[in-house]
Amino acid sequence: MGMTMAEKIIAAAAGVESTRAGDIETVTLDRLMSNDGTTHLTIDMYNNLKNPHIEDVSKLVWIIDHNIPADSPKTAASHKKMRNFAKEHGIKFYEGEGVCHQIMMENHVRPGELIFGADSHTCAYGALGAFGTGVGCTDYLYAMVTGTSWLLVPETIRFNLKGKLREGVYARDLILTIIGRISANGANYKAMEFVGEGMAGLSMADRISICNLCVEAGAKTALMEVDDVAMAYLKEHGREPKHIFKSDEDAVFSQVYDIDLSEINPIVAKPHFVDNIVDASECQDVKIDEAFLGSCNNGRIEDLRVGASVIKGKHVADGVRFLVVPASRAVYNQALKEGILDTFMEAGAMVMNPNCSVCWGACQGVIGEGETLISTGTRNFKGRAGHKDSFVYLASAATVTASAITGKITTADKVI
Amino acid sequence: MGKIFKFNKDVDTDQIIASQYLLFPTIDEMKAHTFESLNSDFASLVKPGDFVVADENFGCGSSREQAPSVLKALGVKAVIAKSFARIFYRNSINIGMPVIVSKELYDSVSEGDEMELDLKQGIITVGEKTFQCTKLPAKMQEILDQGGLIASLNN
């Protein structure tokens, strides 16, 4: 019996020939990412250990991206603790360079790696054929000290993609549709694997967007095969694969879905659950107070280009705030070069520094009581973007930008 | 004996402890804000030894370990749900807070009911009723027994 991609990566990391869903393996991690959401607590726990020790400092990547620039003295103190510790121990450290997952994709992730990230959206790394999974700070600390951890080998749900997304429909509409179909815990404990001829039409930005959101269905990780598109991305960023795995033909999948990309429509996830999806056309009377284009899910140059093409020559609606937040410094600089930031600024948007911004809901662009946000962020949970009695709708970059122009939820075809 | 606090399905970790408190220096400074969006009196009402009882998919969303940590810091003895999201479940065991799966409990009890938990046997008693819970996987039980994952580093 063959193995899935997830089983193969875990077997390699465990140094065993084969493993099966349901087995528990002790694995050696390839990389350990942590951000300012929890690292200050990890450091406190580290300092309380009887024998503090970092097994392999070269595997650690620490990134300040959630509350940057700091919004309060308390945040500044937590950042200082993280900055000083990273410096003292020689940990690779980024601050203000962008959202952690975008930084990891641009600079670190290699196919075949097993990566722990102290952030749930670490599953994004599957876009490069790496097994990324989110952990809390205790798991992180254990892995930092020992270089290892234990993993329950997940079952895999396979998604066979065929066809092409229609014009005006994006990868984000696709993954929201899938989450709506399988529900917020439809992939709990499982890996989600995407294959099929439909993959060829999906850019790296699309693929990251798809894998990144799989945790919203409860997935442990998301995985895609490494093809020419992935190899070109790696080459462009100066890296080589560690190992390229794909599922065997006789591997066992817990479920298999066939998805025709041409049948996907522009989608909105309504408050307060990511799986609460409807066709965007059903929400067009919903008035918005703020729109957000950014995040690890949808803040790449491709997404900014989509937004800019929708808003060029038009203006943000009266009374609406439109925040545009490139996912990294590289994305920001590219957008600057292409004149995209000018387009947004001329249209009345606010272009912010690369960071998690509104998606994190604690630092930048927080919304008030009774207010409504349309967002390319990762989540629409109650209070996610600010006041507990506020409302977040999730949609594609195109729908978010079109909504910023009209002041109510609008698909891009209505404004172009 | 402890009191039951009930929560619906798909309670995400943003509801347990919101983003704006996560960078506070310590768990003790965060805990007053536990469940603020769902039950703003929770932190003042809950007493050590009380229980959180929830529907499906408790603790979904963010990997923030602050979520089980604030519950533990407030003295919550265990969370019993129909099911848990993966990361919350693992984080809870790692910090030594019991998380127990029971498909029946949520639909059979009310907010404020008094409940007793025999963790070793996996038996819950509420009034005249008893409930047998799903046992923890051996690996998880081992971590819990030693007082959490970090304890194993200090042995």
A188 interfaces chain B, CB cutoff of 8 Å: yes
Residue of B91, B57, B60, B78 lying closest to B133 (CA atoms): B78
In 3-state terms, what secondary structure has residue A244? coil
Whether residue B87 and residue A77 make contact (CB cut-off 8 A), yes or no, is no
Q: What is the pLDDT along chain A (416 residues), one digit of tens a residue?
A: 899 999 999 999 999 999 999 999 999 999 999 999 999 999 999 999 999 999 999 999 999 999 999 999 999 999 999 999 999 999 999 999 999 999 999 999 999 999 999 999 999 999 999 999 999 999 999 999 999 999 999 999 999 999 999 999 999 999 999 999 999 999 999 999 999 999 999 999 999 999 999 999 999 999 999 999 999 999 999 999 999 999 999 999 999 999 999 999 999 999 999 999 999 999 998 999 999 999 999 999 999 999 999 999 999 999 999 999 999 999 999 999 999 999 999 999 999 999 999 999 998 999 999 999 999 999 999 999 999 999 999 999 999 999 999 999 999 999 98
Whether residue B24 and residue A74 make contact (CB cut-off 8 A), yes or no, is yes
Domains of chain B: 2-154 (3.20.19.10)
Q: C-alpha distances in angstroms, A191 versus A24, A213, A257?
A: 15, 12, 13
pLDDT the model gives residue B37 = 95
Name every residue whose Cβ is closer than 8 Å to that of residue A79 and which is 6 or more positions away in sequence.
A36, A64, A67, A68, A70, A95
Q: Determine the Cα–Cα distance for residues A175 and A273; give it in Å rounded to an integer.
A: 14
A218 interfaces chain B, CB cutoff of 8 Å: yes
| Exposure of A208 in the CB half-sphere (CA atoms within 13 A) | 27
Give the nearest partner residue to A381 out of B56, B61, B149, using CB atoms.
B61
pLDDT the model gives residue A291 = 98
Residue of A51, A96, A344, A102 lying closest to A209 (CA atoms): A102
The phi and psi torsions of B35 (rounded to 5 degrees) equal 55, 25
Whether residue A188 and residue B57 make contact (CB cut-off 8 A), yes or no, is yes
Q: Are strands A148-152 and A24-28 parallel, antiparallel or unpaired?
A: antiparallel
pLDDT the model gives residue B24 = 96
Whether residue B18 and residue A362 make contact (CB cut-off 8 A), yes or no, is yes
Delimiting residues of CATH 3.30.499.10 domain(s) in chain A: 5-261, 268-411
Give pTM, 2 decimals. 0.97
Topology given in CATH for the domain delimited by A268-411: Aconitase; domain 3 (3.30.499)
Token duo for residue A91 = 């940990």
Please, are residues A138 and A119 in contact by the beta-carbon 8 Å criterion? no
Q: Say which DSSP state A48 is in.
A: T
Residue of A252, A315, A245, A9 lying closest to A132 (CA atoms): A9
End-to-end CA distance of chain A: 53
> Which H helix or E strand runs over A398?
helix A397-406
Give the nearest partner residue to A135 out of B19, B63, B150, using CB atoms.
B63
Please, are residues A212 and A121 in contact by the beta-carbon 8 Å criterion? yes
Residue of A319, A335, A306, A339 lying closest to A405 (CA atoms): A319
Q: Determine the Cα–Cα distance for residues A94 and A286; give it in Å rounded to an integer.
A: 39
Name every residue whose Cβ is closer than 8 Å to that of residue B61 and which is 6 or more positions away in sequence.
A120, A216, A379, A381, B12, B13, B14, B85
Chain A residues closer than 8 Å to B91 by CB: 135-136, 138-139
* Paired residues of A107 in beta bridges: none
Residue of A6, A117, A178, A273 lying closest to B57 (CA atoms): A273
Question: Which residues of chain B are under the pLDDT cut of 70?
Answer: none
In the CATH scheme, what is the homologous superfamily, with its name and number, of domain A5-261? Answer: Aconitase, domain 3 (3.30.499.10)
pLDDT the model gives residue A135 = 98
Q: C-alpha distances in angstroms, A59 versus A55, A102, A146, A236, A238?
A: 9, 17, 12, 22, 18
Q: How far is CA B78 from the centre of its chain?
A: 5
pLDDT the model gives residue A207 = 98
Token duo for residue A31 = 């990389």
Q: Determine the Cα–Cα distance for residues A276 and A180; give it in Å rounded to an integer.
A: 6
Residue A343, phi-psi category: left (phi > 0), alpha (psi -120 to 50), beta (remainder): alpha
Q: Say which DSSP state A163 is in.
A: S
Q: How close, in Å, is residue B155 to chain A by CA atoms?
A: 9
Q: Determine the Cα–Cα distance for residues A110 and A238; give it in Å rounded to an integer.
A: 11
pLDDT the model gives residue B137 = 85
Whether residue A136 and residue B19 make contact (CB cut-off 8 A), yes or no, is no
Please, are residues A178 and A157 in contact by the beta-carbon 8 Å criterion? no
Q: Say which DSSP state A364 is in.
A: S
Please, are residues A339 and A312 in contact by the beta-carbon 8 Å criterion? no
pLDDT the model gives residue B22 = 96
Q: How close, in Å, is residue B127 to chain A by CA atoms?
A: 32
In 3-state terms, what secondary structure has residue A87? helix
pLDDT the model gives residue A388 = 94
Q: Determine the Cα–Cα distance for residues B3 and B6; give it in Å rounded to an integer.
A: 10
Please, are residues B66 and B17 in contact by the beta-carbon 8 Å criterion? yes
Q: Determine the Cα–Cα distance for residues A299 and A202; give it in Å rounded to an integer.
A: 16
Q: What value of ipTM does the predicted structure carry?
A: 0.96
Q: Is the dihedral of CA B41, B45, B51, B53 positive or negative?
A: negative
